[in-house]
Copies of this chain bind each other. A is one copy, B any other.
Amino acid sequence: MKAEILSIGTELLMGEIVDTNSSYLSAQLPPLGIDLYWISTVGDNAERLGEVLARAWSRSHLIITTGGLGPTKDDLTRESIAQLLREEMVVDAALEERLRAGFTRRGLTMPSSNLKQASLIPSTQSLPNPRGTAPGWWVEKEGRIIVALPGPPPEMRGMWQEEVLPRLQQRSTGEMLFSRTLKTAGLMEATLDEMLTPWLSAANPTVAIYAKEDGVHVRLAAKARSQEEAQAAITPLEEKIRSLIEDYIWGVDDDSLEKRIGALLLERGLTLATMESCTGGLLADTITNVPGSSNFFRGGLVSYTNQTKMALGIEPELLSRYGAVSPEVAEAMAATCRQRLGADIGVSTTGVAGPDLLEGKPVGTVHIGVVDGHKKHITSHRFQPNRLSVKRRGALTALVQLRRFLLSQL
């Protein structure tokens, strides 16, 4: 099946936002055995959108559009599809009611311009959008499919996973690409590249290495006619690679470090508290992104000044002897939040996010503490001297160290 993606929106042509939707969707197609040949970006212009859509219709079996489903006059995706297929848009009573109910629930009156979001054409099934007001369209006609998705990435991804993916899976035949991603922390990209050299040039399954925000990923991919056939090709390879780097692997596929840690804590009936300086709340924020985190996360303290550290229970003498950015204070912070918030384990970060030196210590210095009342695990790090990356790498590394701590307890 030949596919094509259309990203719709003038803001994409103005460089105001990066088109992450296209790369998300591109990565979703190979496992379905769907070949993506073109991605086109076009603005909110009826003539050019119509042209691009007509060309896609003439050469692709599956057209996925993102954007242009909003309530304003600039949102032209529905109108353009209706025009291409020479069908008329009609307001659907059930959709209208659902749309109005959404506004009412939030205590709002629906502006009349939103009404077009409840419109359909005869060839369309509407796709529910629990995250926003714009339902998607699933259009089937003359052996071709158009899927119209909303532009905001959370709405687009949710609708893709819940509505579009299951429908496409049903139709998928022939060879598909299956992949398995091993997520590592603690190894450099180049080191992994050397360790895995013998497999990197193989044709099927393929092995590829990607440096990502949360560490380095190793991706094994096999072309096969079924999940079982792919599994048979990937499993022995995964075992060989695991035998080399098992200690560095923290998860697979769409695992996140915080989800894995949450599961570990729940499994053991342990609770967690945090005390952050340089990460400024990002560690607690990351942990509480996990649904159900209130079952293991007691809470966090963000102490952005020495005065606050003391108000929350850090000894003044410790701060004056070692400085706030020190392994000693990291340990005291981890112990303090653990005690104050009544948790089994305390985790802390203290460092220099910049732009300026602190206590003569360079930007990028971060100390991390993990304690449980019996054991402590204190580590020191030096990250790229950039405020946001110190925060991100600091929070990520705190999670990596917390995971090590939890596993070493076994």
Contact = CB atoms under 8 A, between A and B. Distances in A.
Given A41-B40, A71-B189, A280-B284, A304 B298 contact: yes
Given A40-B38, A130-B386, A131-B386, A19 B16 contact: no
B289 A298 contact: no
Main secondary structure of the interface of A (DSSP, over half): mixed
Interface stretch (A107-115, A138-146, A222-230, A241-249): A107-115
A33 to B, nearest CB: 14
B208 A74 contact: yes
A12 B193 CA distance: 20
Interface residues on A, range: 35 or more
A73 B297 CA distance: 42
Interface string A352-364: 0111000000000
Interface string A51-90: 0100000000000000000111110000000000000000
B27 A15 contact: yes
Interface string A4-38: 00010011111111111011111111100000111
Contact of A384 (B38, B131, B385, B391): B131
A375 B184 CA distance: 50
A388 interface: yes
Contact of A14 (B17, B27, B286): B27
Interface in A271-313: 273-274, 276, 279-289, 291-294, 297-305, 307-308, 311-312
A162 to B, nearest CB: 12
B71 A152 contact: no
Identical chains in the assembly: 2
B193 A73 contact: yes
Contacts of A36: 13-14
A354 B45 CA distance: 39
A161 to B, nearest CB: 13
Most buried by B among A37, A201, A281, A282: A281
Interface in A314-357: 340-342, 353-355
A105 B211 contact: no
Most buried by B among A26, A190, A289, A388: A190
Query: 5 tightest A-B contacts by CB?
Result: A15-B27, A280-B288, A281-B284, A15-B26, A39-B41
Given A11-B210, A18-B20, 12 more contacts: A15-B30, A38-B48, A39-B41, A111-B193, A132-B384, A154-B388, A276-B281, A282-B288, A294-B305, A297-B304, A298-B305, A311-B340
Interface of A: 7, 10-20, 22-30, 36-43, 45, 48, 52, 70-74, 105-108, 111, 113-114, 130-132, 152, 154, 188-191, 193-194, 200-201, 208-211, 273-274, 276, 279-289, 291-294, 297-305, 307-308, 311-312, 340-342, 353-355, 382-389, 391
